[in-house]
Amino acid sequence: SRIKEEYDRTGDNTAAVAHGIQSTGRLITAAAGLMAIFFLALVFTSFTPVKILGLGTALAIAMDAAVIRGLLVPAFMRLAGNANWWAPGPLRRFHQKYGFHHERPSPATDPTAPVGPARTGDPAERVPTRN
């Protein structure tokens, strides 16, 4: 989704792919590493099918993070160019009617204006009084 957001912002497919991978690469790798460690822990169980499941899943997660998401997806998106953003007519109409649309927040009128009430140096002046 970072790639799509960058493409919508700039219209440049190559820069969008590079920026999207750069901004999410560490997070994806860290998450895959944690999941692989968890599933590798299953190798130390005494039940053989669980050992096999743990090892296979850990290897699949590591391969997905390194090979597929790190190499194949960016390479394919670079080669596909603007075809990445093509959608069939019915799907495009569905997305235009029901899809998620991100609206940019409106800029503040004065970013230097204080947000809350001004604070004074005396703590007694900040305590609300009861009537």
Give residue 63's identity as a one-letter amino acid code: M
pLDDT tens per residue across span 73-124: 999 999 999 898 888 999 889 888 887 766 655 555 555 555 555 555 555 5
Q: How far is CA 123 from the centre of its chain?
A: 43
The Cα angle at residue 21 between residues 27 and 11, in degrees rounded to 5? 140
- Domain count of the chain? 1
6 within domain boundaries: yes
Structure confidence by residue, pLDDT tens digits, 55-66: 999 999 999 998
- What pLDDT shows up at residue 123? 54
- The residue segments making up the domain with residue 78 are 2-84
> What is the reported pTM?
0.60
Q: Is the separation of the CB atoms in 51 and 43 below 8 Å?
A: yes
The neighbour count for residue 73, using CB atoms within 10 Å, is 15
- Tell me if 99 is assigned to some domain: no
pLDDT at site 34: 96
Q: Is residue 122 part of a domain?
A: no
